[in-house]
Amino acid sequence: MISRMGFAAVVVVVAVLVLGVGSCAQGIGARGPQKPLVPALILFGDSTVDVGNNNFLNTPARSNFLPYGRDFDTREPTGRFTDGRMVSDYLATWLGLPISLPYLHPNATGQNLVHGINFASAASGYLDTTSQFLHVAPARMQFRMFEGYKVKLANVMGTTEASSTITNALYVVSSGSNDFILNYFISPEMQNRYSTTQFSSLVMSDQKEFVQNLYKAGARKMAILGFPAIGCIPAQITLFGGLEQEKCVETQNAVALEYNKVLQDEVPKWQASLPGSQFLYLDAYSLLYEIFYNPAKYGFTSTRRACCGHGLISTAEFCNEATSGTCSDASKFVFFDSLHPTQSVYKRLADEYIAKFISFFKLDGGY
């Protein structure tokens, strides 16, 4: 149970998250190899894969201002909650595809749709209640967007070719941790209603339904990310451990580990029950945890303090270049703001994931 004082502190941190405002610039990265390994890359999830959809929602949870994006290809803010690229960006380049546009971007029309799209929304989760407070797009809304995308794609490519693209595309889903970070962990009401195990089961049920709906809609190749080391996020350490604590909040890491264990066991069962499907579980926990406690091994100097703002509870508007300080070299930091990793961390994760994509999906030639 969180005390009244603790809950007040939570409200402060959530307020930090939601104050972001700024301009709406969106950069597009260059193509990779001329022969794509899949026809399209399609993404769902939260801020770990959102490339700017929140810029076009009536939400204060945005990052479309500097210093966000300062190390991106265009050196401009895009709506990504980091200094540069994310895993999805590196993955697109490796696949030989253009970096995905957010579905809600005005340029997401015509030929810009044929190589994939991104439906992710920062601060969202599988549960609708997680997304209501910040007015972002939960998993169910993202799926409805996907249904609309299929119609648009058929109008551009024709029904047969669009259907082939949907079937052969690679899907990446990175969601669920906000159901704990922005919902369960900060809600005495939820904690009174559900045990941690019960709440995890609730999220897992919605995740399973989401995956099954994607399959029914045509998705076959799907990479599903587990939870990161939630307790090692600077904001979570500050909130649940205190300003002076340097170690991760292991009680929250234990929740993430338990969820991941169940998810890792469930993914093969989902695949077995859905003919023709290929579902790959990706570990988002281990590398971040290892880097946090052994930063020098990976070339990092700071884990507890983020690159921008005050470093311990700075995100969104509190990471605004005009009002807060920012480190000179983000590549030495594990976290860019108090909730999100730097481009350097995402690059290491991408390298790890790409090796798994090659072996699991046999992506060693054109489709």
Residue 367 forms part of a structural domain? no
Write down the pLDDT at residue 20: 32
Instruction: Using the predicted structure, report yes or no on whether residue 290 has a pLDDT greater than 80.
Output: yes
Does the residue 127 lie in any domain? yes
Lowest mean pLDDT among 158-162, 242-246, 296-300: 242-246
Asked whether residue 108 is domain-assigned, the answer is: yes
Q: Is residue 223 part of a domain?
A: yes
Q: What's the confidence (pLDDT) of residue 12?
A: 36
Which CATH number goes with the domain that contains 296?
3.40.50.1110
Residue 26 clears pLDDT 70, i.e. is over it: no
Read off the pLDDT band of 352 (50, 70, 90).
very high
Could you tell me the two tokens for 165?
């693209």
Q: Does the residue 323 lie in any domain?
A: yes
- Is 47 an active-site residue? yes
Report the pLDDT value the prediction gives residue 166, as an integer from 0 to 100. 98
pLDDT of residue 201: 98
Q: What does the pLDDT read at residue 363?
A: 82
Alpha carbon dihedral 62, 67, 68, 71, in 10-degree steps, equals 170
First to last CA, the chain: 52
pLDDT at 317 over 70: no
CA 65 – CA 285 distance, rounded (Å): 28
Residue 40 lies in a domain: yes
pLDDT recorded at residue 316: 56
Residue 84 domain-assigned (yes or no): yes
Q: Which of 18-32, 138-152, 262-276, 330-344 has the lowest mean pLDDT?
A: 18-32
Residue 230, both tokens:
């939630």
Rounded-to-integer distance, Cα 335 and Cα 33, Å? 30
**Domain assignment of residue 146, yes or no:** yes
128 catalytic? Reply is: no
Q: pLDDT tens-digit profile of 217-257? A: 999 999 999 999 999 999 999 999 988 888 999 999 999 99
Residue 64: pLDDT over 80: yes
Q: Which long-range contacts (CB under 8 A, 24 or more apart) does 268-274 make?
A: 270/208, 270/211, 270/212, 274/212, 274/215
Tokens (6 digits) for 344: 């350097």
What is the domain extent for residue 70?
4-361
Catalytic residue among 47, 88, 124, 177: 47
340 is catalytic: yes
Catalytic residue among 100, 337, 338, 344, which?
337
321: pLDDT confidence band, cut at 50, 70 and 90? low
State how many domains the chain has: 1
For residue 75, what pLDDT band results from cuts at 50, 70 and 90?
very high
- Among candidate residues 83, 124, 179, 340, the one labeled active-site is 340
